[in-house]
Amino acid sequence: MGFMGNVLRSLIGQCCKPKADSDEAGYHGVTAATVGVSALAQDLYNFEITSQVPEGLSQHVVSSKKAQINWYRKLSEAWRETKPPPKTPEEASRLIVLTLKRHQQADVEGFLTFYGLPLPHILVELTSVTPPSRPEGLKFELYTLPVDRKAVGDGDGMTVYVSTMDPRESAIVPTEVQVAAFERSEARTQRKYDVADKLRKKINDLGYRVIVLQNQEVLARKYRIRLRGIDAPECQMDYGQRAKEALADIVQDKCLRVLVFDEDQYGRCIADVYCDGIFLQESMLKKGLAWHYKAYDQRPELDKWERKARAKGIGLWASPNPEMPWDWRRKNKCEGRKIKAKNLQIPMDENY
């Protein structure tokens, strides 16, 4: 029993074993970052059908098979009640630690090791943050539509969309966009798809997009966001892809609260961003996947979170002297311009 879970677990030490900063997909698109989560999900599914626990678990824990069955029963219930279910190793580990908190620590750690998931002492502890209602310097606030994973350009930037039904947005939609959206809808009703495609391009060129959500079309305005106060490795640097994936894991399919304080030379909104109570800058700094950008932001909490990650050797701080992104950009000005241009025009799915 649990054959697919066993196959996935075997990949942890085989085709999906990560390099220092590898994010390559393995068997059936499972990556080194998610194979343990997939194996656990499969084993919980098998348990609900067969009441069997996976073979090999007893080599990692000291408790009896009867106790193990009790663990899977509890975890199966917790997994089903968690909406959405865990997607990242950190989320899965937290669910396991919370669900099995009354059991022996050695068993919990053995269980996590069995699935290749982060142990309790290396989990990033995040503060559940509710931002001030009106922080000093705030220009305006956005509430986004669910974020597409492909809209994350790197570890500190993304493209988001805000519905024009939002009170702030509804008052500033250009007439040209409103007319184009109406004419496109009419053209699609009449099956004049070539006309509709031209109007869609016009809407996109004006900084808006028609997004399909739950089979409904929503007219939305595009915003390019730069996380305030941090600087993540560029995608072509060590840990650059890992930082990008970590940010995408947090925001994928989530609605964000975006507090905009400024605009940079590229037209991006400089913002603090919150996702389900997670302060994105805090998460990236504590995971060791970004620097505190002290030249532009002096907030002491950002410095504290960076120093904690440094002290633990987490993420890029596993290297004794990681190259700073602003130094890398200075040395690679031409390449840096190409990267920036690419990030400012992130390809999006047709329906997003």
Minimum mean pLDDT among 131-140, 215-224, 256-265: which range? Answer: 131-140
Residues 32 and 150 in one domain: no
What pLDDT was estimated at residue 15? 38
72-81 as b/e, with b when 16 or more CB fall inside 10 Å? beebbebbee
What pLDDT was estimated at residue 346? 44
Structural domain for 311, as ranges? 140-344
Residue 308 located in a structural domain: yes
Active-site hit among 245, 268, 282, 306: 268
Q: Are 299 and 308 a contacting pair, CB within 8 Å?
A: no
Residues 317 and 200 in one domain: yes
Residue 123 has pLDDT above 80, yes or no: no
Residue 351 located in a structural domain: no
**Residue 49, CA distances (Å) to 9, 38, 53, 76, 145 in order:** 20, 17, 11, 11, 37
Residue 130 located in a structural domain: no
pLDDT tens per residue across span 183-195 = 999 999 999 999 9
Residues 185 and 110 in one domain: no
- Catalytic annotation present for 335: no
Residue 288 located in a structural domain: yes
pLDDT tens per residue across span 3-31 = 444 444 443 444 333 333 344 433 333 34
The tally of domains found in the chain comes to 2
Mean pLDDT of the chain: 83
Q: Pairing mode, if any, of strands 216-227 and 269-275?
A: parallel
Question: 122 exposed, middle or buried (CB, 10 Å; 0-12, 13-18, 19+)?
Answer: exposed
pLDDT tens per residue across span 40-60 = 988 998 899 999 999 889 999
- Catalytic annotation present for 94: no
Coil, strand, or helix at residue 204?
A: helix
- Catalytic annotation present for 226: yes
Active-site hit among 184, 224, 234, 306: 234
- 50, two tokens: 């067969």
Residues 190 and 334 in one domain: yes
Active-site hit among 9, 221, 224, 226: 226
Residue 220 located in a structural domain: yes
